[in-house]
Amino acid sequence: MCFDSFEQERFDDFEFIVLIPLPTRSMLFMISAHDSIAMYLAIEPQSLCFYVIAASKRKSEFSTEAGSKYLILGAFSSGILLFGYDRTTTDIY
């Protein structure tokens, strides 16, 4: 079933051979994470692979737009997750 859809979509690129096992390993690392930074380090390679998969059709405008939007949203959420939101600096006394 999976190979039929690859033939229909013509996914003959080498990237898919690398991009499918890497998120799987990342998910396994995320399962074994014991703290927040390990969880963050497990999510990042997984999301980077998904950015590339979202923009995999090089000739399609929609695919390129989806990949770039996904990358910007991921960078924004990753920045918030890393740096957090400090409410004490925004409070007016």
d(CA 69, CA 74): 8
| Successive 10-residue mean pLDDT values, the chain, 93 residues | 61 72 88 86 85 80 87 85 67 54
- Asked if 23 and 50 touch (Cβ cutoff 8 Å), the reply is yes
Question: pLDDT at position 10, please?
Answer: 61
CA-to-CA separations, 65 to 8, 62, 84, in angstroms, rounded: 22, 5, 28
The angle at the Cα of 22, spanning 19 to 24, to the nearest 5 degrees, equals 115
Taking the complete model, does pTM exceed 0.85, yes or no? no
pLDDT at res. 6: 58
Neighbours of 49 (CB within 10 A): 19
Helix (H) or strand (E) holding 41: helix 36-54
